[in-house]
Amino acid sequence: MQTFAGHTGSVEAVAVTPAGRRVVTGSRDHTAKLWDLDTGRCVQTFAGHTGSVEAVAVTPDGRRVVTGSWDHTTKLWDLDTGRCVQTLTGHADGVAAVAVIRDGLWLMTGSWDRTARLWDLETGSCVQTLEEHAYGVGAVAEATDRRWVVTGSVDGLAKRWDPETGACLETLSGHAGSVEAVSVTPDGRRMVTASDDGTAKLWDLETSRCVQTFEGHAGRVTAVAMTPDSRRVVTGSVDGLAKVWDLETGALLRTLTGSTGAVHAAAVTWDGRWLATGGRDNRAKLWDLETGHCMQTFAGHVDEVAAIAVTSDGRRVVTGSWDKMAKLWDAETGRCLQILSGFQRAVAYRDSSLGRGVVRSIAVTPDERGAVTAAAWPWAELWDFEAGQRTRTIGWHADDVVAIAVTSNGRRVVTGSRDRTAKVWDLESGGCLQTFAGHAGDVIAVVATPDGRRVVTASWDCTARLWALGTGRCLQEYAGHEGWVSAVVVTPDSRRVVTGSEDKTAKVWDLESGRCVQTFTEHTGAVSAVAVGSEGHWLATASLDHTVKFWDLKSGRLLATMHNVDEGFLWTTPPTENAPSGWLWTDRPELVSVVRCDKDSGNPEPMAEDDPDRKAYLGVYNQKERVMSRLWLSGPEVEEKERQLGERINALRGGKPASPPPPQLGQGSSRRGDSSD
């Protein structure tokens, strides 16, 4: 094993050369690097970009490297000398995708400027601009017969183009979210698109029809790969799962559940037998697509795996990670052959029997170039993401700093401390501008209002307080909790304050008057975190009871509950007229206890997992749309959907009132494996 120093930022993209002997990595440190896979030596550094390198590709002859960057340019490099031979300019925003097409004669790029461009690699000239998308283009590909190219966009559309004329041949519409990835079948007759609407779709390119929709993921589908025989497609999602589907029937063949976090990247070996995935659980995995078994786990990264590639002989796997490393693995043994790295992490942790050094709070600066951390020391620390180094310490309290916030303009840092004060600091100079004193207990949460004029602090003294950022005066006290206030957030319109408490409740307060306008009491454990949706319609509360609950901020109505299970997902809703025990959405039905009761709900008896009535019950009430739509629809819209469903049920029953089936639904806490606090 060897260690190589070079990248000073996270590895964003990887590509293996056609011969399978070298690999190219692209990084947020603005460079790409070429590594020899046999010796582990860094052969070349391609330096010249002024922004993160987000996409890399190698020409079919293995002589040139293409890089796409947030600096709006694409560069062509000589693989052997490292010299930049072409800089392609024309995009007005970051380049997010690159693909070498026409057997290495042309290049296709996709950009956040809403266009894709086709370039002649010999002359460096742009030969076509494809510009009918309404939002950024993040996926590009070419048909195997080279007659057309395809783009996928944040606007939810995939488009097929004639590369000679630049004409849009067809628009494939059907996704309810952005198109994250595209893959064309080897015969060029069909295409699969992956979307953040949680589905993938198969399109017949002769008729422009969607012939299959692959539904089953519980989150954004971010990766798609096709087996060479065009019989199967593999999808990867932020739900932590990879799924294998029959391309013809749409049937789910395998669910690869070994990952415990989001699947960020996927690659199929040339013979279609194996799938490599990388994800949020810091690991890469190699799957047998016949059996669905995980054949190898590549463990060693200390952060998320964001990119993955397989050598042409299928014997080695290359991974890129947020831990600022690229690693080369032996596919058969799972052994790490090389580490392409040599850098410290962006946040340092110190060991201490007193718990100091544990990062209790972190706030990213608005320019996204760094972060401020509170690590239970009497000061805060500012970190530079690019250098991965601490650039300064901020301030000094009389006791540990345990809470951090940054104002919206990025000029001020607010710290909360166990010395019962909060302080405001100038981020540039580190000087103390104000001290907020008045709490009778530790200040354990702080937040700046979106308008940047005020600060809210939360304390062990069971209160929250509102302070004027200019004068330091206490403007309001929010008193009413019976336990310490552990979390605080302000709505986007700066009109409401939400607090979470050890007393197992969350409260909504009028920011100006201090009046409590809502109290949420459904949790059975302390409320540890609170968050408000971007438009201020709903509130999320996280609790030590292992759930996150979503509430309508206006009415106080409970919308849905997300249960923190070890793998997969489990969501439930409160009872409705059509679902007396509530709707649910899960890929882990074994976690749900279904019981058979008397008519008066007495004498409950759990039903066996193979009981036909249990299966029928779950078939009716395990409904994604009935659960998840509650987070995005208004209260009246949800009620209208329930009313329409009730009418359909009545019609199917010949006008008889709808009644629930005998079994009643309950949570099987004994099956969760995580029910203890």
**Segment 82-127, tens digit of pLDDT:** 999 999 999 998 999 999 998 889 999 999 899 999 999 988 999 9
Q: Are 432 and 425 in contact (CB under 8 A)?
A: yes
pLDDT interval class at 564 (50, 70, 90)? low
Quote the CA–CA distance of 12 and 340 in Å, as a whole number: 13
* pLDDT, mean of residues 154-171: 91
* pLDDT, mean of residues 650-669: 45
Tokens in use for 379? Answer: 């000061």
| pLDDT in the model for residue 359 | 47
Which regions of the chain carry the CATH code 2.40.10.480? 1-89+258-343
Residue in 225, 301, 325, 305 with CA at minimum distance from that of residue 264? 305
Quote the CA–CA distance of 254 and 640 in Å, as a whole number: 37
Residue in 161, 154, 70 with CA at minimum distance from that of residue 108? 161
Whether the per-residue pLDDT at 162 is higher than 80: the answer is yes
Mean predicted lDDT score pLDDT of the chain: 80
Quote the CA–CA distance of 195 and 471 in Å, as a whole number: 49
Q: Is 361-563 a CATH 3.40.50.150 domain?
A: no
* pLDDT, mean of residues 146-157: 89
Q: Tell me, letter by letter, the H, E, C secondary structure of 619-648.
A: HHHECHHHHHHHHCCCHHHHHHHHHHHHHH
pLDDT interval class at 378 (50, 70, 90)? confident
pLDDT interval class at 465 (50, 70, 90)? very high
Quote the CA–CA distance of 677 and 666 in Å, as a whole number: 20
pLDDT interval class at 267 (50, 70, 90)? low
pLDDT interval class at 362 (50, 70, 90)? low
* pLDDT, mean of residues 169-188: 87
* pLDDT, mean of residues 371-394: 72
| pLDDT in the model for residue 420 | 94
Higher pLDDT, 310 or 154: 154
Which regions of the chain carry the CATH code 2.130.10.10? 361-563
| pLDDT in the model for residue 606 | 76
| pLDDT in the model for residue 9 | 65
Q: How far apart are the first and last CA of the chain?
A: 42
pLDDT digits (tens, 9 = 90+) for 9-33: 667 777 888 887 788 888 878 889 8
Quote the pTM value.
0.49
Tokens in use for 111? Answer: 């950009």
Higher pLDDT, 563 or 426: 426
Higher pLDDT, 389 or 30: 30
Fill in the amino acid letter for 320.
G
Whether the per-residue pLDDT at 517 is higher than 50: the answer is yes
Share of the chain above pLDDT 90, in %: 28
Higher pLDDT, 259 or 245: 245
| pLDDT in the model for residue 536 | 73
Quote the CA–CA distance of 24 and 613 in Å, as a whole number: 55
pLDDT interval class at 550 (50, 70, 90)? confident
Contacts of 441 by beta carbon, 8 Å cutoff, 6+ apart: 420, 459, 460, 461, 462, 484
Fill in the amino acid letter for 99.
A
pLDDT digits (tens, 9 = 90+) for 275-329: 677 766 777 778 765 555 667 888 887 777 766 766 656 777 777 676 666 677 8
Written as one string, the DSSP assignment of 211-273 is EEEEE--SS-EEEEEE-TTSSEEEEEETTS-EEEEETTT--EEEEE---SS-EEEEEE-TTSS
| pLDDT in the model for residue 558 | 93
* pLDDT, mean of residues 65-70: 94
Residue 478, CB-side half-sphere exposure with 13 Å CA sphere:
37
- Report how far apart, in Å, the C-alpha atoms of 328 and of each of 21, 82, 266, 323, 334 are: 11, 22, 16, 14, 10
Higher pLDDT, 215 or 567: 215
Q: For the sheet containing 547-552, what is the strand order?
A: 527-532, 538-543, 547-552, 558-563, 570-572, 584-586
Q: Are 208 and 165 in contact (CB under 8 A)?
A: no
* pLDDT, mean of residues 573-599: 84
Quote the CA–CA distance of 490 and 496 in Å, as a whole number: 6
The DSSP secondary-structure symbol of 35 reads E
pLDDT digits (tens, 9 = 90+) for 401-420: 888 888 988 889 999 998 99
pLDDT digits (tens, 9 = 90+) for 322-361: 666 667 788 888 888 766 543 233 333 333 333 344 446 6
| pLDDT in the model for residue 660 | 40
For 1-89+258-343, CATH gives 2.40.10.480
pLDDT interval class at 65 (50, 70, 90)? very high
Secondary structure of residue 577 in the 3-state scheme: coil
